Every structure is written in structure tokens, then in C-alpha cells.
Copies of this chain bind each other. A is one copy, B any other.
Amino acid sequence: MFKTNFTETFGVEYPIVQGGMQWVGYAELVAAVANAGALGFITALTQPTPDDLAKEIKKCQDLTDKPFGVNLTILPSLNPPPYDEYRRAIIESGVKIVETAGYNPQEHLPELKENGIKVVHKCVSVRHAVKAESIGVDCVSIDGFECAGHPGEDDVPGLILIPCTADKISIPMIASGGFGDGRGLVAAMALGADGINMGTRFMCTKESCIHDAIKQQIVRNTELDTEMILRTLNNTSRVAKNAVSSEVVEIESKGGATIDDLAHLVTGKKGKQVYEAGDPDFGIWSAGQVQGLIHDIPTVKELVDRIVSEAEEIIQARLAGVFDEAQAAAE
């Protein structure tokens, strides 16, 4: 019913992705996304150990027989998590789709590919998408300035980034950042993407594990209620605007702040605590500008079905009608 290079490559019904989200990408949400015909990803590093990840994958497999994946975010660290063990847990679980993000996934690709796993790499610039294709990933997820989390330092929104990337790669491409409804799905496909990734929108569904008070805050927030923090450290992050984010921005505006100066405000598990305790002002938590387009807390299936039917209506009525001479004459 909805066929793009993405749905064909990954064997899912709809070109809609729920990519990795720290402290959000648990089995219940991912299984609900799979059962709705879209593609969800469990977030590996949200699980404290590779064994816990294996259990979370098993839990998801018990909740759905449709495809889902695991996100493995690679960040430089003096004391990195055991990436190889997380990778082994994914391979041994039988999961066949991995989303990589953060840094170059090259060292993980041979073993993933040997085990028949397809890789979606998330990136924030044309040059990184071109590089990802060249090292053999199966799909790029290109993330624009609008997004929650890490948009990079180039500040290029999807309207530009999606077609610029489409001109340079030939593998399937998912557009990420700023998507929440059927209008965005059609826009992304018009711009050259084969589907959309949504983060904030999936956070704000019934099956998402975050506290209902945070979902209600997302509904209240508008497109203006985000802030970009850590720009001065070249590690920009778009987060929900609150007293803590504004304090970070204020400190950064004075210049010269180090990560040590900011650590008490931004690091640790504040996002997890916000999501669990339901206090939107407790600390830093991620949300994208798409908050301005989020007005309810549907089930995942209601959300996916609505996006698909909105997209159908836009393509088959609104856009097709532009050329409909008979309709034009009748109006």
C-alpha cells in the first residue's frame, strides 16, 4: 500500500522510523511501532549492560513478530561502553537491522554485514552521508537543524539538507528532524527522501515510557520552546527549553565555559530522571521543534495510521488536484 525504496529494503509496511532515543527506546514502544507497520529501534546504550540489551530485545521479540532494529550510538569517550559486546548481543539476538549514529560506524560494519544485518547510519551533513554510502551502509538517516538531540554544527535544516543529500547518494534515505505528521512525510518524499524518522513525536504516544506529565509538556510546548545548548563546546544539542537549559545558554553566552563548568547542569542521567519523575524543569531533556506540531497523545497505531492517511489525502487530493482541470473548472 505504501511502497518506497525504504519499505522495500527493510521489509516494513510504512516508511516511518522511530530511531534510537536515549531513555525512551524500550521494547514496549519499539514493539508498538513494529506492530503498527513502521520501523522502531531499541536504544542499545539505554541498557546498562549487553546482557540487559539481549533481554530487552527478547522482550520486544515476544511482543511482535514484525521487523525491528537496535540503535548503537558511537561516541568518543575516555571510558567507552563495551561496543563490541553490545554488537555481539545484537548479532546473537537475531535482529537484522541496526541504526548507527554518532561517529563513523566503519569498524562495526564487517561483522554486522557478515551476519546479514542491514545498517542505517544517522548523520547530519551531506559529506557524512556520502562517506557512509562509500563505506557500505544500506541507508542514510539525515538529520536536520530542527531535530532533538544532536544536529551538528552546520545549522542546515531539512528543506535544504534533504535534497542536497539526495543529489549525492543513491542508497535509500530517511529524513529526520522536524517530522510529526503526514504533511512532513509527503514533503520529505518530495524532497528526495524515502521516508521519515520521528523522535519527539513517538515520545509523545501512549506506549512511550516517559511520564505523562512530560508528554503533556510536549503538547503544551510550541515550536519556540527548544534551546540549543553546548554550541560553545562544538557539541550542540537541541533540548526542551526550561530553567536549566536557559541557565546553560546564559553561562555559555558569557564565553569560556568548559564542560566542567556545565557538568552539574547537563551530564549524568537527568533526561532519564525527567522522563521517570515527570518534572519537566528538573533537568536537560531532548525535544525538537516539532513540538509545535504535536497536539495530542495518541497510541502508536493511531499516530501511524493518521500519518499514512494524511499522506494519502495530500498526494491523491491536494497535490493531484493542482493539475485537475475538471476540478479547476468546477470551482
Contacts and interface: CB of A to CB of B under 8 A. Distances in A.
A4 interface: yes
A160 interface: yes
A139 to B, nearest CB: 17
Report the contact-size class of chain A (Cβ under 8 Å from the partner).
35 or more
A223 B160 contact: yes
A144 B145 CA distance: 12
A319 interface: yes
Interface in A138-196: 144-146, 154, 156-161, 163-164, 166-167, 177-179, 181, 183-184, 186-192
Contacts of A290: 160
Contacts of A145: 145, 157
Contacts of A190: 183, 186-187, 190, 314, 318-319
A159 B186 contact: no
A160 B289 contact: yes
Interface stretch (A22-30, A70-78, A110-118, A320-328): A320-328
A319 B193 CA distance: 11
Nearest to A290: B160
Given A183-B192, A190-B186, A3 B328 contact: yes
Interface string A283-324: 000000110110000000000000000001011101111111
Nearest to A289: B160
Contacts of A167: 293
Contact of A316 (B156, B178, B293, B323): B323
Given A159-B159, A223-B156, A184 B189 contact: no
A324 B166 CA distance: 23
Contacts of A177: 159
B191 A163 contact: no
A2 B191 CA distance: 19
A263 interface: no
Contact of A323 (B161, B191, B315): B315
B159 A189 contact: no
A224 interface: yes
Given A160-B290, A178-B159, A223-B164, A319 B319 contact: yes
A268 interface: no
